[in-house]
Structure 1
Amino acid sequence: MRFDFDQRRFIDTGDGQTLPAVTDARQTLSWQALHDEVDAWIDQAQRAGVQAGVPLVIVGHKEAGFLVAMLGCLMLGVPFVPVDAINPVERQRRIVDIVRAAVIHDAASGSFAAGCADPAPLAEPDIAYIMFTSGSTGDPKGVQIGTDSLALFAGWIRDCLTLGPAPAFMDQMLFSFDFSLFNVAGALVTGGSCVLCAREIIADHAAFIDYLARSKVSVWASTPSFIRQQLLAPGFNQAGLPDLRVFVFGAESLTPALAGTLWQRFPGIRIINSYGPTEATCSTTWVEIDDALRRAAPNPFPIGRAKPYAEVFLQDGEICVAGDHVMRGYINRPDLNRTLLFRHNGKRAYHTGDLGQIDADGLVTFRGRIDDQIKLHGYRIELAEVDAALTRLPGVRAGATIALKRPDGSALRMVGFIETEAPLPADDGLHPLPDGMHDWKTVLGERLPTYMIPSELIACAGFPTTPTDKVDRKKLEQRYLAARLSKKQES
């Protein structure tokens, strides 16, 4: 059995009804049980006032019931709005009001509650889901993704990635982070299983690995930052996860240092790198790190070539994407839609705000964010380029850079941070550099011009991350400033 995203219904393939479809901390649902649960949910939802075209907000965290609700919405033609329970109640209510949801569903309890006072159907037809991202004004932005875009995405996983029969996907990313849909769509379209990993499970390394091993996880999709956290666990290797066959990365740059460590722990593992903003249905480009790329070891690895249904091109160095997978616009934000959306070769197109390069073979390399570009002493600098150079230092697993700024917003100087391969105290503090790194500026000078070398380099036991497991530069800056203040007070 599998789920057909084009027809938005279950397909009985004649076998597999008893195979696992979704696993959470409490239970495993077979494909037949999942089908039955979705049918029951649809009946409850309709009695609760859920209607086609009117958004439904789903609140929860890694319950099988969350996935059941998403499938029920797809089958009913109801745009679903995933909101992780980690979000403050005030933000949850703001999202309900923005989408004018008639009903809120609690995935943990299975209950339904009234939404906003004046619910209404979306102006855009055939929307599969609305995913919220942070807005620069403090108000979250709702990205509207069509049912056709989601079907294209699922079809790419099924037809292009060669993941084998009934693959089991590790899914630890919040449902409100669009990258998690790779695991959901991948499991459903292939007749595989989605293994939901709640925060409580992940917190215990040994228990987490045991859970994944028992669930026979074969596909691991995450950010590189999340992988670096797992490298602290001795059981994170082929012996501990014997069924694991493929790593899929996205949302951050993948470095040769990290990939090399994974190949040491998982000999023969496949590594796929991908890229795409929420506004382009999870991903737009992909590449498998083959032997040639592995030998070349560019830093960072390229983010791939455009998918069959996508076009990727540059405008003044900015990565732009076009195709039927591009969003139908931000909900209730005509100002942003006018600024960021345009038409290209008859298709919807989007300014990503990311910087990149494209070679003659169409291979794209990510070069940082436009908003992470700073001007220091008259020079324009991409922080991502400095990050990449830091990872080339001996004994370094990852690097991140912040720009300290004056009150007027101009850059004053850069501070670099590194995660070292050698263990450091497991705390949130900052540490002196390990022995043997006193000449780090000289080593960086072999790769970077003088004006791109940070004024200071500090070691961390681990980088702080956002709820979507990306390096959090703002928190790094807060740690640094707090440490400086503490030193001043001590002196």
Structure 2
Amino acid sequence: MASKIRQIILNSLRINKDKIVFDDGEKFYTYSELDYYSEIICKYLYEVNNPSNSVVSIGTNDFFSLCVLVACIKSLHIYCPIDENNTENRIQNIVNVINPKIIFAHRVTDLKLEDYVVINYDDVFNKIILAQPYSNLFTDRQENYVYTIFTSGTTGTPKGVLISYENLNCFSEWFLSKEFGLEENDRILLQSTFAFDLSVMSWLPVLSMGKTLVVLSPKIAANYKKIQKWLQKVKFDLFISTPSFLKLIDLCTNFSLDNFSYLNKIILCGEELQKAMAKRILDTLPNVKLYNTYGPTECTVAVSGIEVTYDLLSYDSIPIGTIREGVEFIVDISNEELSIAGNMVSDGYINNFMATSSNFKKHNNYNLYKTGDKIYIDKKGYIFFKGRIDDQIKWNGYRIELREVESTIRKIDIVSDAAVIVTRNRDEEVNGMIAYLTLKNHTIEFNDYEVVYNMIKKLLPKYMLPKRIEIIDEMPLNNNKKIDRRALLAEKEFNN
């Protein structure tokens, strides 16, 4: 049963109809336009009579993707966003997992979509003038889930995390509470695409509280000079992103007050916040409140958070928050692995029983998720992140399974085996990956590197690409006859 957060969003569309909901520096749209356009999409959904309940949206953080999201909330369909900048191989894999009836997309080149109803974004917009919106088409419809976000999977197949209305309601009651003071913010940055659950931190308060999304498109975000020009045109008072992107903004602007005089709050999530970056913010932007938050996608965006002050810089690392009401943190004393239980924990992965059963359990009538993260809770209740117990990393806010990168590279015909290791900078932050490869019955030639790397680029999304590859004669093995990753690390250090 859909929760009260859905009704709050629907009411907000009508109450705030003359306010601006979306502003990317070039175009802006009002709540009235969002309400109307999403009704048109509801008409499409009704006419197609979608039996799978899932609606795929292949886009970025553009306005039409927002319209599809709101249409899914209205019609009680499951919103399944896919970043259009992913490789066609990954997009196809995600579509195959969801098996939807309906796909909205800007481009669908070379995808095998014969079994689906594919609706081009531009076609819908061109027909909007002639179309009449339908109201109350789905009054008898029931749906527990609001969206599915895909994360990296160990087998090479992405895993789709199902987030229910109950999960989202639990998150909203915490995130929209006075702890973060979002009621005082009017213009909230949306930097990530809708396919990254960090985006929920932006669109949820905006749609619930009648605020404005200030949208930085991926095309602008990929270019320093374009970012600088964009920041001179737009204003936002709440910055929500990853620490890595905040560093990029620092490089582009040096946190010049000309660009940030209107900023009063920064909320970071998605990866570890380093002390040096925290101190840089506190020193350079003294009037800006800085928050560090933590949470796996499987637990609905974030489960803990804390305002970062100078006092916290005295610790070895920045805390990721404190225990909050309604969330149970369970730490395995044997390996320090954190499990999280409560109403914010997902029911599991869409159409993936094996992965769900191995990662999710029941605990006191609540869902429990084994995070794979190692944490420590001190006597004051501060929670500290201590790394991973497996081969998963966070890079630029994206969660990446090294084994997915490896298994994808192994699909290349001439590759015999692959092992991926992580590189870190002096602050022990992840700054890339190196892929070590062996080839099948093939003498290594100079141009093999370029050939193989181009093949990898066709299979992996940009954020999962190793920063370099090394072709070696054979993989080093340890005493257990497994790939000796320590030896590869030692080779990396030697080459450096």
Q: Same fold (TM over 0.5)?
A: yes
**What's the CA shift for 1:410?**
11
Distance apart, 1:217 and its partner CA: 0.7
User: What does residue range 179-258 of structure 1 map to in structure 2 within 5 Å?
Assistant: 179-212=198-231, 214-234=233-253, 236-258=255-277
Q: What is the CA distance between 1:264 and its match in structure 2?
A: 2.9
Tell me what 1:357 maps to. Answer: 376
Give distance in 2, aligned partners of 1:8 and 1:105: 26
1:11 and 2:17 are equivalent in the alignment = no
Cα gap change, 1:245/1:196 in structure 2, threshold over 3 Å: closer, same or farther? same
Structure 2 partner of 1:395: none
Give the deviation of 1:371 after TM superposition.
1.5
Amino acid at match of 1:148: E
Pair 1:184–1:212, CA change in 2 (3 A): farther
Q: Distance in 1 between matches of 2:193 and 2:249?
A: 17
Query: 5+ residue gaps in structure 2?
Result: 119-141, 396-401, 403-415, 435-459, 472-487
Counterparts in 2 of 1:299 and 1:115: CA distance versus 1, 3 Å: farther
The one-letter code matched in structure 2 to 1:331 is: I
Task: Tell me how far apart the structure 2 counterparts of residues 180 and 96 of structure 1 sit (CA, whole Å).
Answer: 21
Q: What residue in structure 1 maps to residue 173 of structure 2? A: 155
CA contact (8 A) 2:148 2:161 kept: yes
Question: 2:356, 2:48 → 1: CA distance?
Answer: 33
Counterpart amino acid of residue 23 in structure 2: T
- Whether contact under 8 Å (1:219, 1:244) holds in the other structure is yes
Q: Say how many residue pairs are matched.
A: 400
Unpaired runs of 5+ in structure 1?
374-382, 388-401, 421-427, 431-465
Return the alpha-carbon distance in structure 1 between the equivalents of residues 70 and 13 of structure 2: 18
CA contact 1:353–1:369 (8 Å) conserved in 2: yes
Match in the other structure for 1:23: 23
Partner of 2:305, secondary structure, is: strand
Secondary structure of 1:104's aligned partner: strand
TM-score using structure 1 length:
0.71
Which residue of structure 1 aligns with residue 100 of structure 2? 101
User: Secondary structure at 2:194's aligned position in 1?
Assistant: coil
Pick aligned residue for 1:366 from 350, 372, 385: 385
1:27-61 Cα shifts (integer Å, max 9, x gaps) = 2112222222222222233234446x610100012
Q: Distance in 1 between matches of 2:25 and 2:69?
A: 19
Q: CA RMSD in A?
A: 4.0
Q: Secondary structure at the residue paired with 1:221?
A: strand
| Match of residue 153, structure 2, among 114, 128, 135 | 135
Query: Secondary structure of 1:231's match?
Result: helix
SS of aligned partner of 2:349: coil
Could you report, residue by residue, the CA deviation over 1:208-244 in whole angstroms, capped at 9, with x for unpaired residues? 2443454321111111111112221235333212211
Corresponding position of 1:417: 425
Structure 1 CA distance, aligned partners of 2:16 and 2:347?
36
Partner SS for 2:266: strand
How far, CA to CA, are the matches of 1:218 and 1:289 in structure 2? 18
Deviation of 1:205 after TM superposition, in Å, equals 3.3
TM-score by length of 2: 0.71
1:409/1:354 CA distance change after superposition, 3 Å = farther
Which one scores higher on RCO, CA 8 angstroms, separation ≥ 6?
Answer: 2
Deviates more, 1:238-247 or 1:41-50: 41-50
Q: Distance in 2 between matches of 1:108 and 1:171?
A: 22
Return the offset for 1:80: 1.0
2:286 is aligned, of 261, 267, 272, to 267
Offset of residue 91 of structure 1: 2.1
CA contact (8 A) 1:132 1:176 kept: yes
Which residue number corresponds to residue 332 of structure 1? 351
Relative to structure 1, the CA distance from residue 282 to residue 107 in structure 2 (aligned partners, 3 Å threshold; closer, same or farther) is: farther
Which residue is 1:67 aligned to? 66
Mapped partners of 2:72, 2:365: distance in 1:
30
8 Å Cα contact 1:238-1:267 kept in structure 2:
no
Identical-residue share of aligned pairs (%)? 24
239-248 vs 90-99, which deviates more? 90-99
Q: Residue by residue, what CA displacement relative to the aligned partner does 1:64-86 show, whole Å, maximum 9, x if unpaired?
A: 11011101101111001110101
Opposite residue 39 of structure 2, the aligned amino acid is: D
**Take 2:328 and 2:35, find their aligned partners in 1: how far apart are those partners?**
36
